[in-house]
Structure 1
Amino acid sequence: MILLVLGIALWVAAHLFKRAAPDARARLGGAGKGALAVVLLVALVLMILGYRQAPFIGVWTPPAFLVHVNNLLMVAAVFVYGMSATTGRLRGKLRHPQLTAVKIWAVAHLLVNGDLASILLFGAMLAWAVAEVIVINRSEAWVRPEPGPARKDVLLVVITIAMYAIITAIHAWLGVWPFAG
């Protein structure tokens, strides 16, 4: 679990660095972005390795029907994440679509994973996303972008379906069948 905790700590620290120490981040310039990207990549690798190596310590047993709730929430998470790149009518409906998607993703995974490593990983990511939204809202004003054409939202739905299929295929490839229940 040490790798998992270290990965989570690096992830949170790297993401909050820009807002916690904006002057230090600005002094790093473009090289700082590259360095932070490397730290985030290391954090991600540590979280994946730590999660996969963690012993299974059951905390609770999720009921089987929550698999279906998880899958619906995951479709929503992929859609909301995609809203950050849309130029359609939905553009600007959410201030933090990526962080909102992380929160939906974390809750969905907490519903179907009752082991300690999962609760640690997904709970920490949920807490980080909530904290990040609070920090951003307190430090930056937001100008809501103008909505674009509705056809871009239709494209977002198509992309969401394709991305969800890819994500489920990757889960299956890794040995986790997301439709069991």
Structure 2
Amino acid sequence: MTLLILGLALFLAVHSVRLFADGWRTRQIARVGTLQYRIGHSVLALAGLVLIVIGYAQARLDPLWLWQTPIWTRHLAALLTLPAFLLLAAACVPGTHLKARISHPLLAAVKLWALAHLLANNTLADLLLFGGFLVWSVAAFAVSRRRDRREGKARPAAAVRNDAIAVVLGVLAWGVMARFLHAPLFGVAPFGG
């Protein structure tokens, strides 16, 4: 469990610097340069991710059960992740109405993904992992939206064509994950089987 906690702390801290210490971040970029800063950021984020994966895998070997979850919550989580994948695709495809409206669809996707997985999982490791990401994404979304309003950030132009591309990509990615990847990677088939 220690590796999971360390990994979450490192990964989420690295991804919170711009949100909560933007002045420090700006000074570091000025001091070492954008490329060096991004390399350092990426190395720390990757180290955190590796610790999360190893720590979560270890915690699943000897789980500490916190509550009972009905089997149908897996199906609910699978369905709730569909809009998360649509938001993820909207974050990756430029010029979507979702990105223009929400401003930070990736953070909204993380919120929905984490909530869906909290509903379907019931161990301490699940609570730490998905709860940690949920709390972080809620805070990051609020801070980011507040910063956008303070800076008078304008909504980017959007096109229906780009929305259609994002929907197709999101549905395909969700389908591939749910049908082919989730069980081999995580040991759980979202729709049974």
TM-score, scaled to structure 1: 0.91
- Give identity over the alignment, percent: 37
AA at the equivalent of 2:8: I
Aligned equivalent of 2:155: 144
- The reply on whether 1:98 has 2:106 as its aligned counterpart is yes
- The reply on whether 1:130 has 2:138 as its aligned counterpart is yes
Aligned equivalent of 1:15: 15
* Correspondence for 1:108 among 89, 105, 116: 116
**1:91–1:146 Cα contact (<8 Å) kept:** no
**2:84–2:109 Cα contact (<8 Å) kept:** yes
**Offset at 1:121?**
0.5
| 1:37-80 deviations in Å (ceiling 9; x for gaps) | 11111111111110110121111111122122111111110001
**Offset at 1:21?**
2.6
* Superposition map of 1:38-77 within 5 A: 38-54=43-59, 55-77=62-84
| 1:133-159 deviations in Å (ceiling 9; x for gaps) | 2222333433211221x2222222211
**1:59–1:116 Cα contact (<8 Å) kept:** yes
Write the distance in 1 (CA, Å) between the matches of 2:98 and 2:107.
Answer: 16
Aligned equivalent of 1:33: 38
TM-score, scaled to structure 2: 0.86
Unaligned runs of 5+ in 2: none
Please, what is the CA RMSD of the aligned residues? Answer: 1.7
**1:102–1:125 Cα contact (<8 Å) kept:** yes
Aligned equivalent of 1:176: 188
Q: Whose helix fraction is larger, Structure 1's or Structure 2's?
A: 2
SS across alignment from 1:63: coil
| 1:76-131 deviations in Å (ceiling 9; x for gaps) | 10001111133244441212100000000001000110111001110000000011
Unaligned runs of 5+ in 1: none
Write the distance in 1 (CA, Å) between the matches of 2:166 and 2:172.
Answer: 10
Write the distance in 2 (CA, Å) between the matches of 1:89 and 1:134.
Answer: 20
SS across alignment from 2:92: coil
Aligned equivalent of 1:155: 165
Number of residue pairs aligned between Structure 1 and Structure 2:
180
